[in-house]
Amino acid sequence: MKLLKYLFFLILIFIIGGSMYLATLNGNYDVKQTTIIKAPVAVVFNEINDYKNWQNWGPWYEMDSSIVATYPEVTSGENASYSWKGKEGGGTMKTISLIPNKELIQQIDFGTGSTPEVYWNLKKMSDSTEVTWGMRGKNTFMEKAYWLTQGGIEKNITPMYKRGLKLLNNYITKEMEKHSIESKGVVDYGGGYYLYQTTASKFSEIDKKTEEMFTLIMKYMKENNIQPTGKPFTITHKWDEENGTIMFSTCIPVSERIVTNGDVLNGFIKPQKMFKTLFTGNYNYLPEAWKTAFKNLSAENLKELSNAEPLEVYLVNQEDTPNPAKWVTEILIPIQ
For position 289, which CATH number holds? 3.20.80.10
Are both 140 and 227 inside the same structural domain?
Answer: no
Residue 41: give its domain's CATH number. 3.30.530.20
Are both 113 and 152 inside the same structural domain?
Answer: yes
Q: Which residues pair with 194 in a beta bridge?
A: 253, 267
Best CA proximity match to 62, nearest among 144, 188, 155, 160: 160
13 within a domain of the structure (yes/no): no
98 within a domain of the structure (yes/no): yes
Are both 148 and 272 inside the same structural domain?
Answer: no
- For residue 6, what pLDDT is reported? 45
Are both 80 and 128 inside the same structural domain?
Answer: yes
Asked whether 121 and 114 are in contact (CB, 8 A), the reply is: no
Are both 134 and 202 inside the same structural domain?
Answer: no
Out of 150, 176, 202, pick the residue that ends a domain: 176
pLDDT tens readout for residues 49-106: 999 999 999 999 998 989 999 999 999 999 999 999 998 789 999 999 999 999 999 9
DSSP secondary structure, 147-194, as one string: HHHTT-HHHHHHHHHHHHHHHHHHHHHHHHT--EEEEEEEEEE--EEE
Are both 54 and 186 inside the same structural domain?
Answer: no
The size of the chain, in residues, is 336
Are both 190 and 251 inside the same structural domain?
Answer: yes
- For residue 27, what pLDDT is reported? 55
Are both 193 and 285 inside the same structural domain?
Answer: yes
Question: Order of strands across the sheet with 89-99?
Answer: 28-37, 129-138, 117-124, 103-109, 89-99, 81-86, 68-70
Asked whether 150 and 156 are in contact (CB, 8 A), the reply is: yes
- For residue 143, what pLDDT is reported? 52
Are both 169 and 33 inside the same structural domain?
Answer: yes
Sequence-ordered list of residues with C-beta below 8 angstroms from that of 226, at least 6 positions apart, any chain: 195, 220, 254, 258
- The identity of residue 45, as a single letter, is F
Gap between the Cα atoms of 122 and 131, Å rounded: 5
8 within a domain of the structure (yes/no): no
Distances (CA, A) of 253 to 32, 189, 234, 266, 293: 49, 13, 11, 10, 24
12 within a domain of the structure (yes/no): no
Out of 176, 191, 206, pick the residue that ends a domain: 176
Domain count, the chain: 2
120 within a domain of the structure (yes/no): yes
321 within a domain of the structure (yes/no): yes
3-state secondary structure at position 200: strand
Computed from CA positions of residues 255, 259, 264, 266, in that sequence, does the dihedral angle turn out positive or negative?
positive
85 within a domain of the structure (yes/no): yes
- The identity of residue 73, as a single letter, is E
Within the chain, where are the H helices? 2-24, 41-49, 60-63, 141-149, 153-176, 206-223, 286-299
- For residue 322, what pLDDT is reported? 92
Per-residue pLDDT of the chain (336 residues; tens, 9 = 90+): 544 444 444 343 334 433 443 344 445 788 899 999 999 999 999 999 999 999 999 999 998 989 999 999 999 999 999 999 998 789 999 999 999 999 999 999 988 777 889 999 999 998 899 999 999 877 654 454 444 444 455 767 788 899 999 999 999 999 999 999 999 999 999 999 999 999 999 999 999 999 999 999 999 999 999 999 999 999 999 999 889 999 999 999 999 999 888 889 999 999 999 999 999 999 999 999 999 999 999 999 999 998 899 999 999 999 999 999 999 999 999 999
pTM for the structure as a whole: 0.81
Out of 125, 160, 176, pick the residue that ends a domain: 176
263 within a domain of the structure (yes/no): yes
- For residue 11, what pLDDT is reported? 41
Are both 96 and 223 inside the same structural domain?
Answer: no
Asked whether 237 and 309 are in contact (CB, 8 A), the reply is: yes
Best CA proximity match to 334, nearest among 227, 235, 203, 222: 235
Are both 119 and 258 inside the same structural domain?
Answer: no
Are both 259 and 129 inside the same structural domain?
Answer: no
- For residue 320, what pLDDT is reported? 94
- For residue 152, what pLDDT is reported? 52
Print the domain residue range for 97. Answer: 22-176
3-state secondary structure at position 237: strand
Output Rg (C-alpha) for the chain, integer angstroms.
30
Gap between the Cα atoms of 214 and 210, Å rounded: 6
